[in-house]
């Protein structure tokens, strides 16, 4: 195993972690965080592909790098939108969580 493979597993693990958080966390803010973790994982996989494509005297293929830079900007735009929607939801309903089917419960602190 070399360091490229190491970062590939790191990126793949981040995707899994983010996905898990996105599915299981009821608080919207945590879902946004998890979605960003998922996104950075995908970007890191792009980085691994770029690094493997090192050629022509470059240490890393510039095309996936440029795609990731664009991707980071778009992910930030989406995150801003999500945060503003969350704040609006909170202002309208006083809640910042999404429960599955059940009516809102009093819940236990921290949600763990």
Partner 1 sequence: MTPPFILEIAFVILILAIAVGTLVARAAFTAVLLFMIYGLLIAIAWIRLSAVDVALTEAAIGGGLTGMLLLGAVARLRESEGSGEEPGLPTLLAAGTFCVLVSAALGTLVLSRPEVAPSLAPAVMDNLAQSALGNPVAAVLFVFRAFDTLLEKVVLLLALIGVWSLAPDRVWGGVPGLRLYAEPSSILVFLAQLLPPIGIMIGIYMFWTGASYPGGAFQGGTVLAAMWLLVMIARLQPVPAISLRCVRLLLVVGPVIFVAIGLLGFVFAGAFLAYPPDYAKPLIVIAEATLTLSIGVTLGLLVAGPPDRMQQP
Instruction: Enumerate residues 9-48 that contact partner 1 by CB under 8 A.
Output: 9-21, 23-27, 29-30, 32-34, 36-37, 40, 43-45, 47-48
Binding of residue 93 to partner 1 (CB under 8 A)? no
- Rounded CA-CA distance 51/59 in Å is 7
| Min CB(43)–partner 1 separation in Å | 8
- Rounded CA-CA distance 59/76 in Å is 27
Q: What is the maximum span of the chain, computed from C-alpha positions, in angstroms?
A: 61
| Min CB(104)–partner 1 separation in Å | 8
Binding of residue 56 to partner 1 (CB under 8 A)? yes
Q: Measure Cα distances from 59 to 1, 48, 54, 55 in Å.
A: 19, 11, 5, 7
| Min CB(17)–partner 1 separation in Å | 5
């Amino acid at each position: 195993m070399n360091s490229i493979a190491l970062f590939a597993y790191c990126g793949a693990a981040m995707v899994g972690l983010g996905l898990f958080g996105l599915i299981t966390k009821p608080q919207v803010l945590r879902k946004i965080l998890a979605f960003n973790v998922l996104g950075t994982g995908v970007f890191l996989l792009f980085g691994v592909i770029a690094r493997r494509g090192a050629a022509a005297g470059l240490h890393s293929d510039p095309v996936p790098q440029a795609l990731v830079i664009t991707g980071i900007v778009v992910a930030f735009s989406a995150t801003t939108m999500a945060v503003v929607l969350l704040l609006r939801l909170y202002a309208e309903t006083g809640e910042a969580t999404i429960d599955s089917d059940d009516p809102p419960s009093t819940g236990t602190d921290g949600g763990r």
